[in-house]
Amino acid sequence: MPGTNLTREEAQQRAQLLTVESYEIDLDLSGAQEGGTYRSVTTVRFDAARTGAESFIDLVAPTVHEVTLNGDALDPDEVFKDSRIALRELLEGRNVLRVVADCAYTNTGEGLHRFVDPVDNQAYLYTQFEVPDARRVFASFEQPDLKATFQFTVKAPSGWTVVSNSPTPEPKDDIWVFEATPRISSYITALIVGPYHSVHSVYEKDGQSVPLGIYCRPSLAEFLDSDAIFEVTRQGFDWFQEKFDYDYPFKKYDQLFVPEFNAGAMENAGAVTIRDQYVFRSKVTDAAYEMRAETILHELAHMWFGDLVTMEWWNDLWLNESFATYTSIACQAYAPESRWPHAWTTFANSMKTWAYRQDQLPSTHPIMAEIRDLDDVLVNFDGITYAKGASVLKQLVAYVGRDEFFRGVQAYFKAHAYGNTRLSDLLGALEETSGRDLKAWSKAWLETAGINVLRPEIETDAQGLITSFAIRQEAPALPAGAKGEPTLRPHRIAVGLYERDEETGKLVRDVGVPPAEGWGRVELDVDGELTAVPQLVGRRRPAVVLLNDDDLSYAKVRLDEQSLAYVTEHLGDFESSLPRALCWASAWDMTRDAELATRDYLSLVLSGIGKESDIGVVQSLHRQVKLAIELYADPAGREALLTRWTDATLAHLRAAEAGGDHQLAWARAFAATARTPEQLDLLEGLLDGSQSIEGLAVDTELRWAFVQRLAAVGRFEETEIAGEYERDKTAAGERHAATARAARPTPEAKAEAWSSVIDSDKLPNAVQEAVITGFVQTDQRELLAPYTDKYFEVLKAIWDTRSHEIAQQIVTGLYPTIQVSDETLTKTDTWLTSADPTAALRRLVSESRAGVERALKAQAADAAAAE
């Protein structure tokens, strides 16, 4: 949206001038059922450093009726421009500003989002303010270091519930008056309003009592497993309060599952909003429960790191998110009686894979990125901010020691409670508790971009004893267009030595076995181009040597030739899930880097996936194989690979344990690429009940997976899709039906889907995402080819006229990723040269272009392997 940017320089100047004391916000939401606009009245009390100074407050609103500064009425037409209200002739000391405006409900997931549930036709509201969207609801100094107290008064329709950061009061005449919050940043304030269903409990320990609430729409209430959610929440309270040595800092803790949420969740102080897809309507695998638990714990960790202590400016966003990511997974891995003690396996398999992918794009940047303005922040919620940052934080913990790390964190919270900090504040606390100088570590890891590769160099004698062992570190050239230079970094890693246990047939690592036996683990610091490992000289060469065992560091790892050959045949034989995940990740990375042909990657997966017990890893392999075949395979051999893969998915589906997680995962994998008449007949038969697979419950969500595939291949038309929607006339059903309609392989269906997204801005964010998902079908390349030119024709106008969330969906979702050709690269380059896009838009398009370039190289490698 034009005129809504804020530079860091402007924020610094405003912070030097102003100290904000309090907000009083009065919202009339009594007309929310009908939508449109609502009255917003904001009173802000703030101090200015000098008389006569000028500043501004932020507001995105269709109409401003009144602006009163220190009792003087200002002309809104004169002072309200470009989403800012100019404040002139400020007084030294206390100033009082009152703003009366009409603000607008949104359907984009930004500001105050309004959703109407098709089940009960009731409206449900929630706010989403990160990064700069509190200003869509009330006038605010929209930057994290201008903290204040916030007191909300809300008029709502009779019978509705209103939830905010402070404890929920009893309403009087449908008016809800909340007590003021502690000093917090504007972006973590929140309002959730509507006829929500709720379940309540209390966290109690050592005299502490914190009210807990869980909310969702009534249409989801039957699926709300509140006991499981409370269990994870209590686990987090126990573990975080012990590790942080600081009591939960707010008066209550509500978790609200809300519709059409753009992200996973948001850490509003005491009122966390979570996407309501985490209220599972159908059977899901344990991986989904693990992911939900990580999200719950991630947001709870933010109550301390982010909400209690907040970054001064958005260049430390990485630390905010990385800390929450690291501690949430550490809680899952280490908390007593956790259901997910192998959480670091999931981290290695998903989070780090995301980080490695992001770090090889032309937009790669240092973890501590230079954030010049809000536009930079909005595209910086990426794999480096979250996943690479958390990976490096995990290495930092290994470097300073876990106990020393948490002692530093404890000192940090006590010193900076309810304030704002910079990275140096945390590193200083860690230096105090660990005795390590972290300046060089910080410079190497946080201020440089790119990824390192670690390779073992092993020599043995005729008896198989190691005569020389070294670790070579490489710093590949950064992608074209990326800023910075390749950097060799210090790594704290473990080297795992794995041998086959003759009794069990498993690959194991036994630390207790004497060195002469050749098994075990060595932990060391790797620095520079070549690091000798003399501890391993004289040991018997094991079957597999695994660098970065236990996944301590952030680096791409390669297996030596002998280890790779053994792993290719026996990857599924590792006794522990983490080394399996590390080997799977290495193989996938080699495939993406065109070092391993897609056909060979498929063979590797098929040889080992049947022995893979970790369901999260299995589901990731399903996604990766499908992507590899569709984008990285030689087009001439793609259909044969798809046939081979689909046949395997069906065989695994039929062989899987009845009613188990693996059966469900294989059913979804099979549905994703079913292609022969017999396979499609099976999908139809499973839908209408004429065929069955023992233990497989074809419930609501699985039905939609089958329907969408049948629509994509032309088996199901509007009649069948509409009939399925009648069975599931819910918000989720609406989205699934939109995907199915857009997936149909006809020019008319594609034109209709394209028009609904491009020619109109009426689609809600979640429905638009569903349409885009259905529109892009990898086996419809020829049908979609004409839309490449259409995409570049409308791209800049979309970016200039739609909100950030909506525009980003379109830019990334409709880029012609599946048109893997030099022609696509040329058209992209022509547009980048001629369109003069903003930095944020250029970044998104360049990232998509890099995907096509990578796919071309991988296809060439696969074709060479075929020859």
List the catalytic residues: 299
DSSP secondary structure string, 176-241?
EEPPPP-SB-GGG--EEEES-EEEEEEEEETTEEEEEEEEE-GGGGGG--HHHHHHHHHHHHHHHH
Give me 533's structure tokens: 């490992």
Tell me which amino acid residue 472 is.
R
Residue written as token pair 């009409």: 102
- CA dist 228 and 236 (Å) reads 13
Tally of CB atoms within 10 A around 655: 11
Buried b or exposed e, range 613-644, using 16+ CB within 10 angstroms: ebbbbbbbbbebbbbbbbbbbbeebbeebbee
- CA dist 816 and 73 (Å) reads 53
Burial group, residue 557, by CB count within 10 angstroms (0-12, 13-18, 19+): buried
- CA dist 254 and 270 (Å) reads 6
Strand-strand pairing, 111-116 and 84-87: unpaired
- CA dist 843 and 379 (Å) reads 8
Q: Which of 345, 351, 538 is nearest to 458 (CA)?
A: 538
Strand-strand pairing, 18-28 and 149-155: parallel
Tell me which amino acid residue 594 is.
A
Tell me which amino acid residue 167 is.
P
- CA dist 537 and 716 (Å) reads 64
SS3 per residue for 708-753 = HHHHHCCCCCHHHHHHHHHHCCCHHHHHHHHHHHHHCCCHHHHHHH
Residue written as token pair 């401003």: 64
Buried b or exposed e, range 208-246, using 16+ CB within 10 angstroms: eebebbbbbbbbbeeebebeebbebbbbbbebbbebbeb
Three-state secondary structure call for residue 12: helix
Give me 695's structure tokens: 């233990």
Q: Which of 223, 292, 283 is nearest to 664 (CA)?
A: 283
Give me 372's structure tokens: 């010049």
Report CA Rg, the chain.
28
- CA dist 660 and 695 (Å) reads 8
- CA dist 251 and 35 (Å) reads 32
427 Cβ contact list (under 8 Å, min separation 6): 438, 439, 442
659 Cβ contact list (under 8 Å, min separation 6): 695, 696, 697
Residue written as token pair 């007590």: 179
Handedness of CA 103, 105, 108, 113 (dihedral sign): positive
Query: How far is residue 825 CA from its own chain's centroid?
Result: 28
Tell me which amino acid residue 663 is.
Q
Taking CA atoms, 126 is separated from 60, 130, 218, in Å, by 17, 13, 15
